[in-house]
């Protein structure tokens, strides 16, 4: 055979193979976000400049600017997918005033390709959530929440989204521990089957529909996402939420690419992938978080008008100045006291005429700088509309409750009123609480003490304190927390809050 013919044949074969490979790959851009928490207006970021060391401030986020960034990055690529990993609800007053409908209205403007349900989507009860799902003009995908009596999923369990010539299979997971993340009455009648078995079923269904890649919208948190990826080899991408983790670069576990974009719309996640359409896999990927600086983008005018309408509602109801904060209110992150937590607990204890009070630190959602206090500030600090609940325990049970608290995660750690205690969680069970007194007096083992807390904590006593929910009799006062705090500020006028050492973490002090 002629050598020239052989070379020509080989060249044509190689070129054909290259063309074939190119024809069977496609690029996809995924713009993603999570845990927006109804932060419809921009908010200020302050940090030190890495070059000058000076403090700099600027505004980020807000729905209009956020959509401006989506519009910008969406036009740069042909195949683009918009995905939201949950917790659009709760965090600012407008969400509470409208039972979440404000966020559905705004998402109807954005029109994401798929959204999953976070735990806060359940905060206004199943009836309201059902209305919101019906009102949404975009797909809501949630695979692991079932209506028990009907044995059918609450929302669409999985979905194929076509982008160009790419078929993307999407499933969504809400937190499997939903029962401890919302009030139990909000999820009565729901069942949450095991994650892995559902993933196997729905991924198989999506593959039958010729999905090229599998994308999981997860509101389970970075830890659970990582463990799931390590257990399985059939998920290409996890778009995560719940832990508010800002992953500036994607992480990869087994074959799974994991991303998460912080919270409150400070960042828009951008993940570019090259998909092998024959091999149903991701060949290459590159991810980043884009900070949504307001002064660097043209805001979306339609979203801007809608947010303005909602702000008029809020301002009409909540703009009144009710007092002055003389010291910054700061939340505590970790097992320690916060001055805002102590103030709220002291007010709760006084109103409920209780010996002791507890509030979950994670339920306090905002710091507040010294200066005027508005009704809106109180709503944003306490967005959940919890009521005060009382119950009684003896001294022995109280000590055991604090022993449990000493070992619990920082997220679930309680702020306290009426008592002082120190602890070391590295010690053995029964020896962690080093000191405990109530009103300056030693706790008596058989004496009964009245405890005040909020209805969320009261409905999860076994999780927060290690005692059976049935072991105490709960009295829900019906008193709304933020109403009490508003009236206390009105009456006091000037609030001066300092740490007083009521919680001492001894092991932390040693370090």
Q: Is residue 294 part of a domain?
A: yes
Same domain, 303 and 331: no
Strands (E), 63-126: 80-84, 114-115
Same domain, 329 and 304: no
Same domain, 135 and 260: yes
Same domain, 307 and 326: no
- Domain closes at, from 294, 311, 328: 311
Same domain, 286 and 350: no
Angle at which helix 301-318 crosses helix 101-110, to 10 degrees, equals: 170
Q: Is the dihedral of CA 298, 299, 302, 305 positive or negative?
A: negative
- Domain closes at, from 311, 341, 356: 311
Same domain, 227 and 339: no
Same domain, 307 and 447: no
Q: Is residue 15 part of a domain?
A: no
- Which distant-in-sequence residues (6+ apart) come within 8 Å of 386 by Cβ? 363, 454, 455, 456, 480, 481
- Domain closes at, from 261, 284, 311: 311
Domain CATH for 353: 3.90.780.10
Low-confidence ranges of the chain (pLDDT < 70): 1-23, 508-511
The model's pLDDT over 106-138, given as tens digits with 9 standing for 90+, comes to: 999 999 999 999 999 999 999 999 999 999 999
Q: Is residue 17 part of a domain?
A: no
Q: In angstroms, rounded to a whole number, what is the distance separating the alpha carbons of residues 357 and 414?
A: 9
Here the tokens at position 471 are 């072991």
pLDDT at 7: 52
The pTM assigned to this predicted structure is 0.80
pLDDT at 47: 84
Q: Which domain holds residue 391?
A: 320-510
Count helices and strands (H / E) in the chain.
15, 28
Nearest Cα residue to 425 out of 411, 442, 444, 404: 404
Collapse the DSSP code of 253 into the 3-class scheme (helix H, G, I; strand E, B; otherwise coil) and give the result. strand
Domain CATH for 264: 3.60.21.10
Q: Is residue 362 part of a domain?
A: yes
Q: Tally the residues of the chain.
A: 511
Q: In angstroms, rounded to a whole number, what is the distance separating the alpha carbons of residues 452 and 352?
A: 6
Same domain, 294 and 435: no
Nearest Cα residue to 113 out of 154, 85, 153, 145: 85
Same domain, 371 and 299: no
The model's pLDDT over 184-193, given as tens digits with 9 standing for 90+, comes to: 889 999 999 9
Which helix (H) or strand (E) segment holds residue 424: the answer is none
Same domain, 426 and 278: no
Q: Is residue 4 part of a domain?
A: no
Q: How many structural domains compose the chain?
A: 2
Q: In angstroms, rounded to a whole number, what is the distance separating the alpha carbons of residues 226 and 240?
A: 10
Quote the Cα angle for 314-320-323, to 5°: 135
| DSSP assignments along 108-137, one per residue | HHH--SEE---GGGGTT-HHHHHHHHHH-S
Same domain, 239 and 333: no
Same domain, 418 and 456: yes
Q: Is residue 287 part of a domain?
A: yes
Residues 438 and 393 sit within 8 Å (Cβ to Cβ): no
**Region for residue 426 given its phi and psi (left: phi exceeds 0; alpha: psi -120 to 50; beta: otherwise):** alpha
Q: Is residue 166 part of a domain?
A: yes
Q: Is residue 119 part of a domain?
A: yes
């Amino acid at each position: 055979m002629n050598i020239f013919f052989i070379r020509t044949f080989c060249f044509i074969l190689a070129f054909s193979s290259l063309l074939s490979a190119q024809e069977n790959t496609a690029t996809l851009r995924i713009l993603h976000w999570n845990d927006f928490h109804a932060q419809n207006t921009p908010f200020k970021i302050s940090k030190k400049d890495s070059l000058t060391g000076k403090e700099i401030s600027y505004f980020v986020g807000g729905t209009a600017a956020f959509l401006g960034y989506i519009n910008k990055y969406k036009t740069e690529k042909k195949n683009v997918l918009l995905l939201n990993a949950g917790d659009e609800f709760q965090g600012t007053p407008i969400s509470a005033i409208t039972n979440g409908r404000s966020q559905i209205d705004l998402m109807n403007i954005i029109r994401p390709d798929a959204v999953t349900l976070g735990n806060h989507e359940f905060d206004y009860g199943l009836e309201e959530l059902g209305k919101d799902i019906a009102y949404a003009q975009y797909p809501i995908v949630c695979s692991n929440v079932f209506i028990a009596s009907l044995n059918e999923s609450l929302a669409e369990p999985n979905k194929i989204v076509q982008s160009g010539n790419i078929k993307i299979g999407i499933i969504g997971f809400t937190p499997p521990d939903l029962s401890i993340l919302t009030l139990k009455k909000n999820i009565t009648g729901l069942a949450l089957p095991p994650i892995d078995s559902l993933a196997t079923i729905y991924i198989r269904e999506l593959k039958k529909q010729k999905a090229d890649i599998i994308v999981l919208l997860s509101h389970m948190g970075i830890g659970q996402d990582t463990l799931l990826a390590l257990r399985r080899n059939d998920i290409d991408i996890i778009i995560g939420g719940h832990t508010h983790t800002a992953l500036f670069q994607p992480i990869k576990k087994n074959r799974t690419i994991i991303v998460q974009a912080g919270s409150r719309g400070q960042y828009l996640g951008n993940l570019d992938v090259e998909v092998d359409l024959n091999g149903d896999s991701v060949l290459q990927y590159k991810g980043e978080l884009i900070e949504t600086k307001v002064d660097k983008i043209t805001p979306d005018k339609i979203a801007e008008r809608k947010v303005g309408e909602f702000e008029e509602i809020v301002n009409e109801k909540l703009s009144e100045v009710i007092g002055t904060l003389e010291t910054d209110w700061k939340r505590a992150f970790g097992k320690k006291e916060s001055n805002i937590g102590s103030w709220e607990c002291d007010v709760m204890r006084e109103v409920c005429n209780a010996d002791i009070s507890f509030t979950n630190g994670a339920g306090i959602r905002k710091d507040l700088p010294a200066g005027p206090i508005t009704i809106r500030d109180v709503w944003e600090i306490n967005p959940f509309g919890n009521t005060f609940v009382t119950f009684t325990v003896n001294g022995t049970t109280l000590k055991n409750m604090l022993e449990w608290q000493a070992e619990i995660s920082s997220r679930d750690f309680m702020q306290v009123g009426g008592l002082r205690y120190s602890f070391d969680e590295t010690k053995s069970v029964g020896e962690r609480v080093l000191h405990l007194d109530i009103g300056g007096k030693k706790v008596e083992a058989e004496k009964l003490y009245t405890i005040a807390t909020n209805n969320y904590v009261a409905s999860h006593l076994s999780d927060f304190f290690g005692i059976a929910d049935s072991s105490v009799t709960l009295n829900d006062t019906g008193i709304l927390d933020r109403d009490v705090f508003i009236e206390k500020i009105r009456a006091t006028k000037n609030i001066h809050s300092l740490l007083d050492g009521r919680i001492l973490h001894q092991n932390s002090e040693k370090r």
